[in-house]
């Protein structure tokens, strides 16, 4: 019994010394585990928001002619003469289209000026720089012709040219022109048009070699005047002055 007493005292001393350290180690381990858990939860939440933002992100598209190139992008000019800087990244898809729907992937070094490009991506806050995700290219570029709509009575007309009142524009009529719409007439031809007909015309505006503006007829819509011979067969153009309006017509007025 006497031999056990020193052993018991030693155990009590050791337990008294080690217990606080054991508790501190357990607390530190628990705190570290909690911090790791918190970090993991924050990371998962951030990744979830990033994925959600990526899904709901809206993309813009601009298209036009390439006017200059640089190492990581190029400058694009739209038909409206607006300028955009197109920025390329490592994940930007660059696709060149050719004849018969032929297409191939290219590198940024192969991009050339005067190509036509459709760039899709995200615009910067000032809407001047587009970070491209995908760009489609075509080596052929045709700038659309400017159009004008003119309204007035026909002043002069033959099989090659047309003029309207209150305008000095001489409008060229292409050979075999067929886009003619005359009120009350099916399959109208140039011969069905006459002086004093009310006309709405759509023309292409262009410049010749001398930088003179030219106008080419693209479409014409007319209401024949009573002077036009076809008006005799057009009841829609012939009024009956003696006819009295119906009650329903009066009520609408």
Decide if 223 contacts 183 (C-beta within 8 A): yes
Of the two residues 179 and 28, the one the predictor is more confident about is: 179
Token output for 22: 């054991």
Token output for 52: 């959600």
The helix/strand/coil state of 246 is coil
DSSP letter assigned to residue 160:
S
Q: What is the CATH number of domain 146-232?
A: 2.40.50.140
The percentage of the chain sitting over the pLDDT mark of 70, rounded to a whole number, equals 64
Q: Do 146-232 and 60-138 have the same topology in CATH?
A: yes
Give the pairing of strands 198-207 and 213-223.
antiparallel
Of the two residues 40 and 164, the one the predictor is more confident about is: 164
Report which of 101, 97, 131 is spatially closest to residue 117, judged by C-alpha positions: 97
What's the rounded mean pLDDT across residues 112-128? 89
Give me the pLDDT at residue 45, please: 66
State yes or no: pLDDT of 58 exceeds 60. no
Model confidence, pTM: 0.44
Alpha-carbon dihedral of residues 132, 133, 136, 142, nearest 10 degrees? Answer: -30
Give me the pLDDT at residue 115, please: 93
- 87-117: pLDDT as tens digits: 999 989 999 987 766 788 999 999 999 999 9
- The per-residue b/e assignment along 5-18, b for 16 or more CB within 10 angstroms, e otherwise, is eeeeeeeeeeeeee
Give the pairing of strands 116-123 and 161-164.
unpaired
The percentage of the chain sitting over the pLDDT mark of 90, rounded to a whole number, equals 32
Q: What is the CATH number of domain 60-138?
A: 2.40.50.140
Domain boundaries, the chain: 60-138, 146-232
How far, CA to CA in Å, does 209 sit from each of 31, 146, 160, 212, 214? 83, 17, 20, 7, 11
Of the two residues 10 and 182, the one the predictor is more confident about is: 182
Length of the chain: 253
Give the C-alpha separation, 103 to 119, whole Å: 16
pLDDT bracket for residue 44 (50, 70, 90): low
- 206-233: pLDDT as tens digits: 876 677 888 999 899 998 888 787 776 6
How far, CA to CA in Å, does 158 sit from each of 116, 172, 218, 232? 39, 10, 16, 21
Half-sphere exposure of 180 (CA within 13 A, CB side): 22
Q: 249 φ, ψ to 5°?
A: -65, -40
């Amino acid at each position: 019994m006497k031999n056990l007493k020193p052993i018991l005292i030693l155990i009590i001393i050791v337990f008294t010394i080690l217990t606080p350290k054991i508790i501190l180690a357990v607390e530190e381990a628990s705190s570290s585990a909690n911090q790791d858990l918190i970090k993991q939860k924050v990371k998962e939440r951030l990744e979830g928001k990033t994925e959600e933002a990526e899904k709901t992100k809206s993309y813009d598209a601009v298209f036009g002619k390439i006017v200059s190139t640089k190492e990581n992008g190029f400058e694009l000019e739209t038909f409206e003469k607006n300028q955009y800087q197109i920025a390329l990244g490592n994940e930007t898809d660059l696709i060149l289209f050719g004849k018969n729907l032929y297409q191939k992937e290219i590198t940024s070094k192969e991009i050339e000026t005067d190509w036509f490009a459709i760039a899709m991506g995200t615009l910067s806050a000032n809407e001047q720089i587009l970070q491209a995700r995908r760009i489609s290219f075509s080596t052929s570029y045709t700038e659309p012709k400017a159009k004008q709509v003119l309204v007035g009575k026909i002043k002069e007309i033959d099989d090659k040219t047309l003029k309207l009142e209150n305008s000095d524009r001489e409008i060229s009529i292409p050979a075999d022109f067929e886009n003619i719409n005359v009120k009350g007439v099916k399959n109208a031809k140039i011969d069905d048009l006459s002086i004093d007909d009310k006309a709405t015309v759509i023309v292409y505006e262009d410049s010749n070699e001398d930088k003179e503006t030219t106008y080419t007829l693209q479409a014409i819509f007319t209401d024949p005047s009573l002077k036009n011979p076809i008006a005799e067969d057009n009841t829609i153009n012939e009024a009956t002055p003696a006819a009295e309006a119906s009650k329903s017509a009066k009520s609408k007025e």
